[in-house]
Chain A
Amino acid sequence: MFVKKFIKAPANWTFLIIILSLLAAPLFLSVFRINLLGKFISYAILAIGIDLIWGYTGILSLGHGVFFGLGAYAMGMYLKLEAAHGKLPDFMSWSGLEHLPAIWAPFSNPLSLLFIIIIPALLAAVIGYLTFKNRIRGVYFSILSQALSLIFVVLFIGQQAYTGGTNGLTSFQTIFGLSLAADNTKYILYYASILFLILVYTYCRFIVNHRIGKILIAIRDGENRVRFSGYNPTIYKIFVYISSAAIAGIAGAIFVPQVGIISPAEMGIVPSIEMVIWVAIGGRGTLIGAVIGAILVNGLKSGISESFPEIWSYFLGLTFIVVVIFMPEGLVGLVKKYASHLFTWHNKKEKIIQKAPSIN
């Protein structure tokens, strides 16, 4: 019991340390680095959502780029209309549109920012209902989610007049009237990202710490047993899928103003798989592992690709192989293992000391 508590609590302690370091980071880093770190935080948020569905519930979605992208596009559309000042956004005039399309109209209203959550959640609800109800599982679900990602990329590239095509949405200028180029805005966005990281982490921690968290793990371990224990796993799986998609949407919305562009390239299969790799490297089924994995891998990525741009993909691939073979539980699993070894070793030592007098 003690070991369990000992292992359980450190996740939250670690999270606290990460948050404090992130809060203090502007004291040490340039505004360029802070902006970059803000992007990594959006990835960390995304990764927490993937951990909830993959690490806990055992559903491997290889199409989370779609939900990330939908949240990002919703934010991008809002920013784009803000930049257009009541006129038609630039790329639409290039494509020969004369009026703002109906699907764009609501995005002039700040309330439309709710679509950041609603659209991914709705899509997940529909897809989740159709797949989970028909008991499409495992690798079949993964393949389906990849197809989803492919469909959306093709759709967004094809509808250039409505989506900006391959280039996506870019050249935003202000957010709520604040210039995106200003250092102050960048700090505000950075701190807002941290706030959302805390909110999302807390939400997921709440879920996994309650009975539902155990049911999710139970679904991962034996869906049939869950069903014959009287639960309807379909509803739980749809709930997790929706939660995870909404979280990805939030992450996308945080990504856009800091990076300044969203294009179909961010929604594709390759980025979707990369997201899963962050969680695998950090350690799945821990939440904190997802945060560490996302920030660490992306930190390394920008570090390595700044100096040796050509070796990054090899490096990522190699890391993934090493993680899968040598530390299936990821970095967090590795630390846990050594921590509990240390603990049992300490315990044994105590026992030996206790026994020693009786031997004499």
Chain B
Amino acid sequence: MNTILEIKDLIISFDGFYAVNNVNTKINKGEIRFFIGPNGAGKTTLLDAICGRIKPQHGSIIFNNNKNVLHYAEHELVNIGIGRKFQVPSVFTSLSVYENMEISVVKNRGIFSAIFNNITKSQREKINTILELVDLFDYRYRKASELSHGQKQWLEIAMLLVQDLQLILLDEPVAGMGRKETTKTGELLQKIAAHCTVIVVEHDMQFVREYASMVTVLHEGAVLDEGSVNHIQNNPKVIDVYLGRGGENCA
């Protein structure tokens, strides 16, 4: 199997507090990798590091065998193929769903292209295909502010999909969703994984059980265990620090 992302000896500290402490892991192409763990385990910090928001003190994050993610600015990472969805849905609320997609689909993101070039027909078709995939096609002329919470999450995911990424980072994509919406998001996740690798931070254990191909359990900034869902569910240490508390389903 091909490794798409390799995290080596990663250390991130804030004023002496080690949010991520010597994390090593490899993520393979086409995986749906879940990072789970109690609050403060360093899951979101890890995502922040992978997408360039935080510069670690030590270690490296190698993407596609040769690109050190830490050498790229946040906006450049999209160009090499890494995209990120935030915990709180962040879409452009005063623009229509379609305009949100238009901004994302463009490949040349320079200012002159933004002034003089319109999007092409094939880009328009691509937007339509992906909007159909997330069931937002009928809403394409609606303002994003008029969408429901779940629809905003899907729109943000759609905005990532239209960018042809190789790795997508999702921070709690089903937080605040009902069971039905969660199932729909899970199915969407499986469709996405056909084209690219997905890393998900999630608290909802039922969701993890259904859709994870690999799970990394983090605890106090370090990797506690890693493996299939079955494997980690039977690890007494994991049960002790995390699962034993009901998997923080309500978090």
Q: What residues make up the interface of A, taking CB atoms closer than 8 Å to B?
A: 1, 4, 207, 210-212, 214-215, 217-218, 220-222, 224-233, 235-236, 239
5 contacts between A and B (CB under 8 A): A4-B141, A214-B95, A222-B93, A225-B86, A231-B103
* B193 interface hit (Cβ, 8 Å): no
Candidate in A4, A215, A224, A226 with the most chain B CB atoms within 10 angstroms: A215
Known: A210-B116, A211-B102. A228 touches B78 (CB 8 A): yes
Q: Which of B52-82 contact A (CB under 8 A)?
A: 73-79
For A221, give the chain B residue with the smallest CB separation. Answer: B92
Would B95 and A235 count as touching, CB distance under 8 A?
no
**Is B109 among interface residues, defined by CB-CB distance under 8 A?**
yes
**Residue interface mask B100-117, A partner, CB < 8 A = 1:** 101110100111011111
Is residue B119 contacting chain A, with contact meaning CB distance below 8 A?
Answer: yes
Given A211-B118, A215-B114, A236-B111, decide whether A229 and B95 contact each other with a Cβ distance below 8 A: no
Question: Which B residues are within 8 Å of any A CB, using their own CB?
Answer: 51, 73-79, 83-84, 86, 90-95, 99-100, 102-104, 106, 109-111, 113-119, 141, 156, 159, 163
Contacts of B74 in A (CB 8 A): 227-228
Contacts of A231 in B (CB 8 A): 75, 103, 109
Contact of B114 with A218 in the complex, beta carbons under 8 Å: no
CB-CB under 8 A from B100, the residues of chain A are 218
Partner of B104, one of A229, A232, A235: A229
Report A112 CB to chain B, min CB distance, Å: 29
Q: How many Å from the CB of B145 to the closest CB on chain A?
A: 9
Q: Which residues of A contact B73 (CB under 8 A)?
A: 232
A54 to B118, CA, bound (A): 25
Please give, as numbers and ranges, the residues of chain B lying within 8 Å of A228 by CB-CB distance: 51, 74-75, 77-78, 83-84, 86
Shortest beta-carbon distance from B102 to chain A in Å: 7
B91 and A227: CB pair below 8 A?
A: no
- Residues in A with CB closer than 8 Å to B111 are 212, 235-236, 239
Contact of A222 among B92, B115, B119 (CB under 8 A): B92
What is the bound-complex CA distance between A230 and B80, given in angstroms? 10
With a cutoff of 8 Å between Cβ atoms, the chain A residues found around residue B115 in the complex are: 207, 210-212
Q: Once the chains bind, are A224 and B94 in contact (CB under 8 Å)?
A: no
- Supposing A212-B115, A229-B78, A239-B111 touch, asked if A217 and B94 sit within 8 A by C-beta, the answer is yes
Could you tell me the distance between the alpha carbons of A262 and B41 in the complex, rounded to whole angstroms? Answer: 61
In-complex Cβ contact of B114 among A211, A217, A221, A224 (8 A): A211
Q: Does B90 contact A225, Cβ atoms closer than 8 Å?
A: yes
Establish whether residues B93 and A221, one from each chain, have CB atoms under 8 Å apart when the complex forms. yes
Which of A1, A218, A229 has the largest number of chain B CB atoms within 10 A?
A229
How far, in Å, is B247 (CB) from chain A's closest CB? 29
The residue on A at minimum CB distance from B51 is A228
Closest chain B residue to A228 by CB distance?
Answer: B84
Chain B residues, Cβ within 8 Å of A218: 92, 95, 100, 103
Task: Known A-B contacts: A211-B119, A217-B94, A229-B75. Give 18 more (CB < 8 A).
Answer: A211-B114, A211-B115, A211-B117, A214-B102, A217-B95, A218-B95, A222-B93, A225-B91, A226-B103, A227-B74, A228-B75, A228-B77, A228-B84, A229-B109, A229-B163, A231-B103, A232-B73, A236-B114
In the complex the two chains form, is B94's CB within 8 Å of A220's CB?
yes
User: Is the beta-carbon distance between A212 and B163 smaller than 8 angstroms?
Assistant: no
Q: For A225, list chain B residues within 8 Å (CB).
A: 86, 90-92, 156, 159
Distance (Å) between the CB of B168 and the closest chain A CB? Answer: 11
- CB pair A230–B78 under 8 Å, yes or no, is yes
Q: Tell me, rounded to whole Å, the shortest Cβ–Cβ distance linking B207 to chain A.
A: 23
Contacts of B106 in A (CB 8 A): 211
Residues of B within 8 A of A233 (CB): 75
Least distance between B83 CB and chain A CB atoms (Å): 7
Q: Taking CB as reference atom, which chain B residue is nearest A212?
A: B114
Give the docked Cα–Cα distance between A218 and B104 (Å): 11
Would you list the 7 A-B pairs with minimal beta carbon distance, nearest first? A230-B78, A212-B114, A221-B92, A218-B92, A225-B90, A222-B90, A231-B109
Q: Please report the C-alpha to C-alpha distance between residue A227 and residue B111 in the assembled complex, in whole angstroms.
A: 14
Which residues from chain A contact B99 at a C-beta distance below 8 Å? 214
Cα(A306)–Cα(B91), bound, Å: 49
Given the known interface contacts A212-B114, A218-B103, the answer about A229 and B159 at a Cβ–Cβ threshold of 8 Å is yes
Complex Cα–Cα for A124 and B156 (A): 33
Q: Across the interface, which residues of A come within 8 angstroms of B93, CB to CB?
A: 221-222
Expressed in whole angstroms, the minimum distance between the Cβ of A124 and any Cβ of chain B is 15
Nearest CB of A to B124, in Å:
13
Q: How far is the CA of A218 from the CA of B117 in the complex (A)?
A: 18
| B102:A222 contact, CB within 8 angstroms | no
Measured in the bound complex, the distance between the Cα atoms of B137 and A102 in whole Å is: 63
A231 nearest CB neighbor, chain B only: B109
The residues of A that contact B75 with a CB separation of less than 8 Å are 227-233
Task: Tell me the complex Cα distance, A261–B92, Å.
Answer: 44
CB distance from A59 to the nearest CB of B (A): 15
The answer to whether B116 touches A215 (Cβ under 8 A) is no
How distant is A184 from chain B, measured CB to nearest CB, in Å? 39
A223 to B92, CA, bound (A): 9
Rounded to whole angstroms, the CA-CA distance of A1 and B117 in the bound complex is: 23
